[in-house]
């Protein structure tokens, strides 16, 4: 028993900083603000009591202690008595209260009523009217006499009782009655949520935030258990497994071997009885697995005990079927360190042997039509067989292979395709399908050598086939898969075009109908490769032909995102939106074959609106994109990085450089997700722009180094906007070379036929200062400003005319209108303003009201008003209208100093 009062709190409870990493048992109570407030409120009424119920390690004891200490701060005369029930105290009546009762001068009494009053007297030192909080941990371990005393404490005045209890087996009947009668409030202590995991992690290792994907992995690995989470973070920090990218902490590897967390879990597993140990190991190997497939492999009694100990749990799929899984995924990694490969193989074999015969008796023909065998059961059993190195019958392997093709588990796709390829006498077309499927999986796994080897093997088999519709289809499948890999993995667009030409030649020798169908698919992929390589004229002509050939069909769908970007950069926003709306319908209809198409189309639609200056439309389309990606296929990391990218671009359009830097840094922390998508360059240059504009020049230098060292290059389709964003970044911190780069961008944009981006570059030339645009460039800018449908186009042309005469770049209505279209003109950093004050000052100079600024910067209106008052005082001006002049004076001072 430990007693505390205002002057007797344990060491470490003060507000002094705690060194990190620290033990999870002594760490501050992180990530539980709302829950702590709830538990604290439960003590407020006189005589109030509560029971905290949750899984082992969920933080019940810490929550009770922190709630009591919070109460103590408001009422310093309160006494706190803490007791812990164990299996040892359960065997002896009142043993849990013995430390307090021994301090009594007289006997405690024989009845529960007498013991309860004696206990209060012992804990308060006999003082009357002194509030008392009694904390009792692990109440299921109380002996009957102690439980009766606890029940009586609930009814005593000036006594508040806080109990903790595991959710399994749960409160006793006596305490459950007290809860139902209103004498005891029940508070569920769930596992940490993702946001709470983020708060916990950042508090434990302050200084640099964790990347969202790392938070997801931490949460997934520990199941949100605070004890496991603290152990894991400490292990990662001590082992150096956490890396830093763009100011964020990243966990790219596996759990370090030899960590204390492994030791804790291994000891817990080692203490399990033999039948529970077997059931646990089986669950760890298979988790999650349909429960009915494990009925012959797991003892029901052992499973029941594991469920009570909260080592495993049963969840239900959407179809209502129960699935067995580990209570905390991190148990699985620990189990793998305890099982040698031979033992694992034998267990997989046992599982497979028990499940395969019943499966073979089912009607396999009906499986592919949604019949008697659930797809999940089929894939699970086949995977067990592959892990156990069994020869899975073709009648199971082939349908499982068909179902596995669209899965994101690329390792399983490689295993099942490899199992097919090891079979002698396999039908040639099926062998080719397996090679193509494995090639696609190797592309996602980042193995270009394996991709090249499978392409050579599949090509030889296809060329040996006689001309037929089947050969035409297989050649198109292989060429498209290889072209996708050649471009997205290593940027070899010429190799991609050569493979597509090969498919066309083979198709021409086959039936004309099959050749026509295959040619459409091949042409769509060719257009993507041409744009990647910068052959925009050829890609534009191909787009016209392909569009005519696919009217009213989804054949254009693979090329749709590329086509939308082509039109958008040319300034043909109406055509871009028309294609986006039409192809979005096909993307929804063909979601099974193209699971990411809808998200890609909406994403590039949003990007086109950014180019064109449709600021409101971009925000709306982005909201739709975020919802679509959240519901669509693909890994969670990809979804989160794409969402962060979109948020960063919208923040750039709002001139909120700090928020843009934060979101874009999150996306860049997992830059590999964008490899080959054509977005890497735009993502990095956008981050460089946000960093430079916010004054983070060191961060911008790091980002520029990443751009220069990017290994595979990026798609030429986004080369012009990428260079344009980098040019704007340089304009925020000029070095005198900007005008030459602006000239080069204008030439490249004109070469590609990107009229809108050419106009932006011409505007940037004049924005760089120096002599006015020559007559031919001025005429070209005016022509583009009047002919392009993009709303920002006439504003750019008008501002060029204004910049030709000496004046202030950021003054006037045109600058304000450009800002409302997402183009904020570079403003030198004023030396007396903070970064946030500079942002607010820029928006004030552009005529934004306090309410509008608050909405853009996601601040309260009162905060913005405070910023504005400080800005006026620091700049020494008396009105909002004078802020623009003060900011522009900085530019003139810098130019005079440079001159």
**85 burial via Cβ count (<10 Å: 0-12, 13-18, 19+):** buried
Provide the b/e sequence for 256-287 (b: ≥16 CB within 10 Å): beebebbeebeeebeebeeebbbbbbbbbbbb
> What is the percent of the chain with per-residue pLDDT over 90, rounded to a whole number?
31
Q: In the prediction, which pLDDT does 762 show?
A: 96
Residue ending a domain, among 699, 726, 753, is: 726
Same structural domain, 869 and 890: yes
Number of domains in the chain: 6
d(CA 377, CA 385): 12
Q: What is the pLDDT of residues 728-746, one digit of tens each?
A: 999 888 888 899 999 999 9
Residue ending a domain, among 339, 358, 375, is: 339
d(CA 781, CA 747): 13
Q: How confident is the model at residue 59 (pLDDT cuts 50, 70, 90)?
A: confident
Q: Which DSSP string do the residues of 615-648 spell out, in sequence order?
A: HHHHHHHHHHHHHHHHHSSS-HHHHHHHHHHHHH
Q: Which DSSP string do the residues of 831-867 spell out, in sequence order?
A: TTS-HHHHHHHHHHHTT--HHHHHHHHT--HHHHHHH
Q: In the prediction, which pLDDT does 76 show?
A: 84
133, 162 Cβ separation under 8 angstroms? yes
Same structural domain, 38 and 138: yes
Bridge-partner residues for 290, per DSSP? Answer: 323
Q: Which of 898, 857, 69, 897 is nearest to 849 (CA)?
A: 857
CA atoms within 13 A on the CB side of 127: 12
Same structural domain, 185 and 199: no
Same structural domain, 860 and 881: yes
Helices 469-490 and 493-508: angle between axes, nearest 10 degrees: 180
Cis peptide before 889 (omega within 30 of 0): no
Helices 755-767 and 597-612: angle between axes, nearest 10 degrees: 40
d(CA 124, CA 93): 22
Q: In the prediction, which pLDDT does 18 show?
A: 30
635, 672 Cβ separation under 8 angstroms? no
Bridge-partner residues for 289, per DSSP? Answer: 324
Reduce the DSSP state of residue 2 to 3 states and report it: strand
Same structural domain, 132 and 275: no
Same structural domain, 78 and 117: yes
Domain assignment present for residue 887? The answer is: yes
13, 70 Cβ separation under 8 angstroms? no
- Cite the beta strand spans of 281-370 per DSSP E: 289-290, 312-316, 322-326
Cis peptide before 288 (omega within 30 of 0): yes
Q: How confident is the model at residue 476 (pLDDT cuts 50, 70, 90)?
A: very high
CA atoms within 13 A on the CB side of 439: 25
Reduce the DSSP state of residue 679 to 3 states and report it: coil
Is the pLDDT reported for residue 26 higher than 50? no
Average pLDDT over residues 877-891: 76
454, 421 Cβ separation under 8 angstroms? no
The torsion angles phi and psi of 632, rounded to 5 degrees, stand at -85, -175
Three-state SS string over 129-163 comes to CCCEEEEEECHHHCCHHHHHHHHHHCCCCCEEEEE
Reduce the DSSP state of residue 443 to 3 states and report it: helix
Average pLDDT over residues 63-67: 87
d(CA 690, CA 370): 51
CATH of the domain at 870: 1.10.10.10
Q: What is the pLDDT of residues 623-640, one digit of tens each?
A: 877 776 666 555 556 667
* Among the ranges given (3-7, 149-153, 247-251, 850-854), the one the predictor scored with the smallest mean pLDDT: 3-7
Q: In the prediction, which pLDDT does 141 show?
A: 82
Residues constituting the chain: 899
* Single pTM value for the model: 0.74
Q: In the prediction, which pLDDT does 7 show?
A: 37
Q: How confident is the model at residue 177 (pLDDT cuts 50, 70, 90)?
A: confident
d(CA 826, CA 803): 14
d(CA 474, CA 204): 54
Domain assignment present for residue 613? The answer is: no
Domain assignment present for residue 711? The answer is: yes
Tell which wins on pLDDT, 122 or 9.
122
713, 491 Cβ separation under 8 angstroms? yes
Q: In the prediction, which pLDDT does 189 show?
A: 87
Domain assignment present for residue 771? The answer is: yes
d(CA 298, CA 280): 9
The torsion angles phi and psi of 289, rounded to 5 degrees, stand at -145, 145
Helix or strand holding residue 248 (H, E): strand 248-250
Domain assignment present for residue 602? The answer is: no
Domain assignment present for residue 516? The answer is: no
Q: What is the pLDDT of residues 793-837, one digit of tens each?
A: 999 999 998 887 765 544 568 888 898 899 988 877 777 888 788
**808 burial via Cβ count (<10 Å: 0-12, 13-18, 19+):** middle
Domain assignment present for residue 272? The answer is: yes
The torsion angles phi and psi of 160, rounded to 5 degrees, stand at -115, 135
Alpha carbon distances (Å) from 378 to 292, 368, 405, 748: 13, 11, 14, 54
686, 650 Cβ separation under 8 angstroms? no
Same structural domain, 880 and 738: no
Q: In the prediction, which pLDDT does 612 show?
A: 94
Same structural domain, 10 and 92: yes
Domain assignment present for residue 619? The answer is: no
Is the pLDDT reported for residue 721 higher than 90? yes
Q: Which DSSP string do the residues of 415-438 spell out, in sequence order?
A: HHHHHHHTSTT--HHHHHHHHHHH
Pairing between β-strand 322-326 and β-strand 312-316 as defined by DSSP bridges: antiparallel
Same structural domain, 705 and 779: no
Same structural domain, 679 and 789: no
Q: How confident is the model at residue 838 (pLDDT cuts 50, 70, 90)?
A: confident
Residue-number span of the structural domain to which 269 is assigned: 262-339
606, 621 Cβ separation under 8 angstroms? yes
- Cite the beta strand spans of 6-56 per DSSP E: 49-54
Average pLDDT value over all residues in the chain: 83
Same structural domain, 148 and 91: yes
Tell which wins on pLDDT, 365 or 10.
365
Q: In the prediction, which pLDDT does 799 show?
A: 92
Q: What is the pLDDT of residues 558-607, one digit of tens each?
A: 999 999 999 999 999 999 999 999 998 888 888 767 767 777 888 889 89
- Cite the beta strand spans of 283-384 per DSSP E: 289-290, 312-316, 322-326
Strand order of the β-sheet with 79-84 is 2-4, 79-84, 132-137, 159-166, 49-54, 185-189
Residue ending a domain, among 666, 696, 726, is: 726
Same structural domain, 808 and 866: no
């Amino acid at each position: 028993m430990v007693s505390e009062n205002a002057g007797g709190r344990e060491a470490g409870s003060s507000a002094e900083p705690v060194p990190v990493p620290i033990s999870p048992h002594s760490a501050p109570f992180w990530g539980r603000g709302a829950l702590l407030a709830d538990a604290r409120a439960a003590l407020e009424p006189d005589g109030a009591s509560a029971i905290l119920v949750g899984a082992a390690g969920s933080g019940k004891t810490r929550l009770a202690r922190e709630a009591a200490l919070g109460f103590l701060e408001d009422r310093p005369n309160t006494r706190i008595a803490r007791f812990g029930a164990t299996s040892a105290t359960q065997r002896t009546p009142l043993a849990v209260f013995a430390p307090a009762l021994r301090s009594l001068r007289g006997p405690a009494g024989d009845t529960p009523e007498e013991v309860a009053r004696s206990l209060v007297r012992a804990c308060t030192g006999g003082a009357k009217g002194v509030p008392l909080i009694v904390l009792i941990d692990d109440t299921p371990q109380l002996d009957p006499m102690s439980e009766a005393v606890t029940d009586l404490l609930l009814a005593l005045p000036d006594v508040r009782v806080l109990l903790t209890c595991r959710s399994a087996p749960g409160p006793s009947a006596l305490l459950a009655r007290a809860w139902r009668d209103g004498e005891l409030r029940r508070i569920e202590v769930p596992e940490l949520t993702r946001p709470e995991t983020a708060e916990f992690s950042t508090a434990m290792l302050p200084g640099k935030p964790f990347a969202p994907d790392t938070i997801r992995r931490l949460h997934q690995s520990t199941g949100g258990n605070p004890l496991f989470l603290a152990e894991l973070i400490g292990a990662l920090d001590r082992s150096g497994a956490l890396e830093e990218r763009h100011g964020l902490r990243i966990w790219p590897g596996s759990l370090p071997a030899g960590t204390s967390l492994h030791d804790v879990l291994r000891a817990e597993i080692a203490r399990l009885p033999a039948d529970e140990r077997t059931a646990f190991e089986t669950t760890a190997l298979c988790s999650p697995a349909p429960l009915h497939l494990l009925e012959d492999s797991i003892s029901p009694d052992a499973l029941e005990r594991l469920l009570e100990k909260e080592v495993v749990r049963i969840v239900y799929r959407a179809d209502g079927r129960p699935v067995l899984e580990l209570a905390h995924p991190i148990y699985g990694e620990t189990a793998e360190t305890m099982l040698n490969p031979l033992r694992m193989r034998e267990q997989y074999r046992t599982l497979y042997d028990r499940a395969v015969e019943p499966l073979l008796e089912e009607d396999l023909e009906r499986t592919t039509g949604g019949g008697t065998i659930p797809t999940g059961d089929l894939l699970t059993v086949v995977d067990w067989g592959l892990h156990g190195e069994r020869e899975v019958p073709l009648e199971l392997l082939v349908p499982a292979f068909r179902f596995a093709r669209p899965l994101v588990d690329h390792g399983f796709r490689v295993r099942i395709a490899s199992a097919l390829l090891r079979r002698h006498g396999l039908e040639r077309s099926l062998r080719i399908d397996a090679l193509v499927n494995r090639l696609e999986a190797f592309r996602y796994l980042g193995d270009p050598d394996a991709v090249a080897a499978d392409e050579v093997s599949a090509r030889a088999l296809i060329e040996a086939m006689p001309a037929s519709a089947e050969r035409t289809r297989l050649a198109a499948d292989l060429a498209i898969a290889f072209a996708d890999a050649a471009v997205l993995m290593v940027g070899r667009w010429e190799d991609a075009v050569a493979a597509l030409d090969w498919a066309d030649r083979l198709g021409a020798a086959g039936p004309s109908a099959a050749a026509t169908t295959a040619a459409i698919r091949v042409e769509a992929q060719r257009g993507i490769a041409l744009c990647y390589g910068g052959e925009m004229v050829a890609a534009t002509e191909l787009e016209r032909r392909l569009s005519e050939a696919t009217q009213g069909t989804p054949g254009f769908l693979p090329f749709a995102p590329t086509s939308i970007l082509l039109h958008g950069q040319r300034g043909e926003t109406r055509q871009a939106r028309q294609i986006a709306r039409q192809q979005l319908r096909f993307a929804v209809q063909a979601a099974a074959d193209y699971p990411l198409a809808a998200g890609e189309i909406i994403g590039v639609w949003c990007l086109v609106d950014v180019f064109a200056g449709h600021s409101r439309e971009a925000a709306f389309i982005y909201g739709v994109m975020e919802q679509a990606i959240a519901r669509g296929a693909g890994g969670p990391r990809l979804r989160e990085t794409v969402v962060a990218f979109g948020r960063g671009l919208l923040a750039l359009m709002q001139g909120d450089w700090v928020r843009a830097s934060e979101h874009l840094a999150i996306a860049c922390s997992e830059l590999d997700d964008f490899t080959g998508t054509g977005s890497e360059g735009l993502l990095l240059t956008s981050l460089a722009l946000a960093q430079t504009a916010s004054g983070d020049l060191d961060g911008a230098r790091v980002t520029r180094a990443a751009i220069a060292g990017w290994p595979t290059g990026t798609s030429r389709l986004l080369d012009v906007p990428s260079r344009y964003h980098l040019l704007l970044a340089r304009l925020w911190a000029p070095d005198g070379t900007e005008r030459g780069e602006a000239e080069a961008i204008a030439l490249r944009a004109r070469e590609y036929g990107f009229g809108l981006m050419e106009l932006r570059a011409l505007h940037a030339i004049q924005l760089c200062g120096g002599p006015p645009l020559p007559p031919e460039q001025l005429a070209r800018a005016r022509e583009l400003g009047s002919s392009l449908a993009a709303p920002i186009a006439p504003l750019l042309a008008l501002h060029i005319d204004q910049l030709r005469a000496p004046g202030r770049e950021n003054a006037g209505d045109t600058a304000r209108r450009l800002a409302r279209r997402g183009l904020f003109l570079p403003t030198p950093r004023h030396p007396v303003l903070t970064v946030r004050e500079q942002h607010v000052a820029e928006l004030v100079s552009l005529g934004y009201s306090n309410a509008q600024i608050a909405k853009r910067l996601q601040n309260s209106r009162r905060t913005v008003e405070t910023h504005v008052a400080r800005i006026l005082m620091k700049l020494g001006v008396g009105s909002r209208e004078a802020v623009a002049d003060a900011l522009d004076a900085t530019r003139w001072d810098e130019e005079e100093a440079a001159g």
